[in-house]
């Protein structure tokens, strides 16, 4: 059991006529404790196919980029491309397409940085708009902000899986997580032109429903936790970018199996197994106790569902904040989420003194390290497909094409020796075989061996002049063994994780490489 031991935390006119815009969503929860978001519903577009927009004369829908500042380079193609691409100069202003709440603003796999806005249409139907590929310095709102149509929320970038500066723009009917991506082009007819230099000052923190249907709270797959706990895990997973709802749910399963009323031999209590002293300790991020009266029943208690789970999220976010500071100063190394789990179980001091995963006393090896491994291994079981902008396999598409698509989500990821595997990056990055292992598993479900030498034994060798996208390429041969592996992308190119100090990138196929087909 994790005891949540506390120590002090020091802490995007179609080229002819129609420009594009996209709208993102904010959810209404059915609970009587959750009021509908306080936003101008009449200002939001109806997402009904073929309908005439009631906003065509209102001027409250706004194109995300001014018409004379972009070129439409990619159309909506369903699962193959869930939005539209608007090419523009790096730094071009991006505007909110509709009123809504920012449910995520920060890092996202494949997007570099993104913004997800949750909204409601006039009928109270939820929808989401997504803005991707910005640089970190190009974000002008943060998670929790309220935005208005036409507000300057970001600047065009060229981050992550991007071949040039552009805004990737999506609209999700029903919400980013559980809804359906729709073609944004038709929904922008009649939208207003943005006003350059519109104010970018965010509105106040929304009092909208706590569960959310976008991300990061939307990262929780529906039906994976008891229904009465789902809204709380979604809200807790929206508190900071480092800690997702799916991670908290996996942690909750490990801590208590979602059973109430438990007390551990060490005195840890409730769903999140809080030590009483930790529950009442002050969160340095806001000056309140970790466990607060989240359900508004008049008392804060580790034995109440909402209070415990929100407290769990608050504490994990505080731990993540101090761990990120230690990582920046070189005091610790490792994945922030893994280290936060270690600190939750063994105390932040154990992470600091171990310069990473706790390894100082026998209990760190018998309890803490298995605790971290179990939660990280179980977390994908709680995660909604595509909830983090990640690649989602399409059974009707060729396997090789999907391997390439999967690998592109990690463009720009740092090279880390020993990093990665079927689960994706680890320790903050990927090495060459970690990348191939992650991409092949994401696209096909095939688990490759860990090293390039071992991966050379999988599948069948293909003449290099017959290489197709998705085939593995092996190079840097020595003694009949490959020292490097990459993924063929077509046109004489490959994606690979080169070496320390570099990032995952696309490059020409190296001379002397051999190929194997594993799918």
Containing 362, the helix (H) or strand (E) segment is helix 362-363
Number of structural domains in the chain: 3
From 337, 353, 382, give the residue that closes a domain. 382
What's the confidence (pLDDT) of residue 394? 67
In a domain, 25, yes or no: no
Sheet holding 472-475, edge to edge: 460-462, 514-517, 472-475, 484-490, 493-496, 505-508
What's the confidence (pLDDT) of residue 496? 96
How far apart are the C-alpha atoms of 448 and 210, rounded to whole Å?
A: 40
CATH number of the domain to which 351 belongs: 1.10.530.10
Nearest to 335 by CA among 412, 272, 420, 252: 420
State how far Cα 278 lies from the chain centre: 28
Same domain, 157 and 240: no
Is the separation of the CB atoms in 288 and 260 below 8 Å? no
Neighbours of 376 (CB within 10 A): 18
Average pLDDT on 99-120 reads 86
In a domain, 201, yes or no: no
How far apart are the C-alpha atoms of 78 and 216, rounded to whole Å?
A: 23
DSSP E strand boundaries for 439-492: 460-462, 472-475, 484-490
Average pLDDT on 114-118 reads 91
In a domain, 330, yes or no: yes
At 68, list the tokens.
């004379």
In a domain, 205, yes or no: no
Structural domain boundaries enclosing 162: 41-188
At 459, list the tokens.
């599948």
What's the confidence (pLDDT) of residue 391? 64
Query: pTM of the entire structure?
Result: 0.46
Residue 107 DSSP SS3: strand
How far apart are the C-alpha atoms of 350 and 354, rounded to whole Å?
A: 6
From 382, 409, 441, give the residue that closes a domain. 382
Cα separations in angstroms, 418 against 10, 56, 335, 422, 505: 31, 54, 13, 13, 18
What's the confidence (pLDDT) of residue 305? 93
What's the confidence (pLDDT) of residue 375? 93
What's the confidence (pLDDT) of residue 2? 53
Question: pLDDT tens digits for 474-491?
Answer: 999 999 999 999 999 988
How far apart are the C-alpha atoms of 148 and 146, rounded to whole Å?
A: 7
Same domain, 63 and 147: yes
Question: pLDDT tens digits for 47-89?
Answer: 333 222 332 223 367 899 998 888 887 877 777 778 888 988 8
* Low-confidence winner among 100-109, 112-121, 389-398 (lowest mean pLDDT): 389-398
Q: Chain-wide mean pLDDT for the chain?
A: 79
How far apart are the C-alpha atoms of 400 and 439, rounded to whole Å?
A: 10
State yes or no: pLDDT of 353 exceeds 90.
yes
Containing 343, the helix (H) or strand (E) segment is helix 336-346
φ, ψ dihedrals at 235, nearest 5°: -65, -45
Same domain, 223 and 320: yes
State yes or no: pLDDT of 161 exceeds 80.
no
What's the confidence (pLDDT) of residue 385? 59
How far apart are the C-alpha atoms of 240 and 103, rounded to whole Å?
A: 10
Same domain, 337 and 429: no
Residue 434 DSSP SS3: helix
Q: Within 13 Å, how many C-alpha atoms sit on residue 354's CB side?
A: 22
Same domain, 350 and 409: no
What's the confidence (pLDDT) of residue 199? 43
Largest CA distance in the chain: 72
What's the confidence (pLDDT) of residue 124? 65
Neighbours of 204 (CB within 10 A): 9
Same domain, 269 and 138: no
How far apart are the C-alpha atoms of 35 and 278, rounded to whole Å?
A: 31
State yes or no: pLDDT of 178 exceeds 80.
no
Same domain, 425 and 332: no
What's the confidence (pLDDT) of residue 451? 92
CATH number of the domain to which 147 belongs: 2.70.70.10
Average pLDDT on 170-178 reads 82
Nearest to 498 by CA among 510, 489, 515, 490: 510
State yes or no: pLDDT of 329 exceeds 60.
yes
φ, ψ dihedrals at 343, nearest 5°: -70, -35
* Low-confidence winner among 215-219, 362-366, 496-500 (lowest mean pLDDT): 215-219
Same domain, 310 and 279: yes
- Exposure string (b/e) for 471-486, b if CB count within 10 Å is 16 or more? bbbbbeeeeeebebbb
Helical segments of 141-296, H only: 227-236, 245-256, 276-280
φ, ψ dihedrals at 58, nearest 5°: -85, -25
At 481, list the tokens.
């063994």
In a domain, 8, yes or no: no
Higher pLDDT, 332 or 216: 332
Higher pLDDT, 43 or 400: 400
Same domain, 144 and 225: no
Nearest to 133 by CA among 101, 100, 162: 162
How far apart are the C-alpha atoms of 203 and 213, rounded to whole Å?
A: 20
Question: pLDDT tens digits for 291-305?
Answer: 998 888 889 999 999
The crossing angle, in degrees rounded to 10, of helices 245-256 and 336-346 is 30
Is the separation of the CB atoms in 374 and 34 below 8 Å? no
Question: pLDDT tens digits for 398-456?
Answer: 889 889 888 888 887 888 888 888 878 877 789 999 999 999 998 888 999 989 999 99
Same domain, 180 and 319: no
What's the confidence (pLDDT) of residue 432? 96
How far apart are the C-alpha atoms of 204 and 372, rounded to whole Å?
A: 36
From 349, 382, 415, give the residue that closes a domain. 382
CATH number of the domain to which 482 belongs: 3.90.1720.10
What's the confidence (pLDDT) of residue 234? 81
Cα separations in angstroms, 438 against 28, 89, 116, 339, 448: 36, 33, 26, 22, 9
Residue 364 DSSP SS3: helix
Model confidence band, residue 203 (pLDDT cutoffs 50, 70, 90)? very low
Helical segments of 138-244, H only: 227-236
What's the confidence (pLDDT) of residue 71? 83
In a domain, 70, yes or no: yes
What's the confidence (pLDDT) of residue 64? 95
Question: pLDDT tens digits for 220-259?
Answer: 787 899 999 988 888 788 677 788 889 999 999 999 999 9
State yes or no: pLDDT of 374 exceeds 90.
yes
In a domain, 1, yes or no: no
How far apart are the C-alpha atoms of 23 and 97, rounded to whole Å?
A: 6
- Among 27-41, 43-57, 93-107, 161-175, the range of highest mean pLDDT: 93-107
Model confidence band, residue 189 (pLDDT cutoffs 50, 70, 90)? low
Model confidence band, residue 170 (pLDDT cutoffs 50, 70, 90)? very high
φ, ψ dihedrals at 391, nearest 5°: -60, 135
In a domain, 341, yes or no: yes
Per the rule left: phi > 0, alpha: psi between -120 and 50, beta: everything else, 459 is: left
Same domain, 372 and 423: no
Same domain, 371 and 405: no
How far apart are the C-alpha atoms of 227 and 235, rounded to whole Å?
A: 14
Percentage above 70 pLDDT, the chain = 79
């Amino acid at each position: 059991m994790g005891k949540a031991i506390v120590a002090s935390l020091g802490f995007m006119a179609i080229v002819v006529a129609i420009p594009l815009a996209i709208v993102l969503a904010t959810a209404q929860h059915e609970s009587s404790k959750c009021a509908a978001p306080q936003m101008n519903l009449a200002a939001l577009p109806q997402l009904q196919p073929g309908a005439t927009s009631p906003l065509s004369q209102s001027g409250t829908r706004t194109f995300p980029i001014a018409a004379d500042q972009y070129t439409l380079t990619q159309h909506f193609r369903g699962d193959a491309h869930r939005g539209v691409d608007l090419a523009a100069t790096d730094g071009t202003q991006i505007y909110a397409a509709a009123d809504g709440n920012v449910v995520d603003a920060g890092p996202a796999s494949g997007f570099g940085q993104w913004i997800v806005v949750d909204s409601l249409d006039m009928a109270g139907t939820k929808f989401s708009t997504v803005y991707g590929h910005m640089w970190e310095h190009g974000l002008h709102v943060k998670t929790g902000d309220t935005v208005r149509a036409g507000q300057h929320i970001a600047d065009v970038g060229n981050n992550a899986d991007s071949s040039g500066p552009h805004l990737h723009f999506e609209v999700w009917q029903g919400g980013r997580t559980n809804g359906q991506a729709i073609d944004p082009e038709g929904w922008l007819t009649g939208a207003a032109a943005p006003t350059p230099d519109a104010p970018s000052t965010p509105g106040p923190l929304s009092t909208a429903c706590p569960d959310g249907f976008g991300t990061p709270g939307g990262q929780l797959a529906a039906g994976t936790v008891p229904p009465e706990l789902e809204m709380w895990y979604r809200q807790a997973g929206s508190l900071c970018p480092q800690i997702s709802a799916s991670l908290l749910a996996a942690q909750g399963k490990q801590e208590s199996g979602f059973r109430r009323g438990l007390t551990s031999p060490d005195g840890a209590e409730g769903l999140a197994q809080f030590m009483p002293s930790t529950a009442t300790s002050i969160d340095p991020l806001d000056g309140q106790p970790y466990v607060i009266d989240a359900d508004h029943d008049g008392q804060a208690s580790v034995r109440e569902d909402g209070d415990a789970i929100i407290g769990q999220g608050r504490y994990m976010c505080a731990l993540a904040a101090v761990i990120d500071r230690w990582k920046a100063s070189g005091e610790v190394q490792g994945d922030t989420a893994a280290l936060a789990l270690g600190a939750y179980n063994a105390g932040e001091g154990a992470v600091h003194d171990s310069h990473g995963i706790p390894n100082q006393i026998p209990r760190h090896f018998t309890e803490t390290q298995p605790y971290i491994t179990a939660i990280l291994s179980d977390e994908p079981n709680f995660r909604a497909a595509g909830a983090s902008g990640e690649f989602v396999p399409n059974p009707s598409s060729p396997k090789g094409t999907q391997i390439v698509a999967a690998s592109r989500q990690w463009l720009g990821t740092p090279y880390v020796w020993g990093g990665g595997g079927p689960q994706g990056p680890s320790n903050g990055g990927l090495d060459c075989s970690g990348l191939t292992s992650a991409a092949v598993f994401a696209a096909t479900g095939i688990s490759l061996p860990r090293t390039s030498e071992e991966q050379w034994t999988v599948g069948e060798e293909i003449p290099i002049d017959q290489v197709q996208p998705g085939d593995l390429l092996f190079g840097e041969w020595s003694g009949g063994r490959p020292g490097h592996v990459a993924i063929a992308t077509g046109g004489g190119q490959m994606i690979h994780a080169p070496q320390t100090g570099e990032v995952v990138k696309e490059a020409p196929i190296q001379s002397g490489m051999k190929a194997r087909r594993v799918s």
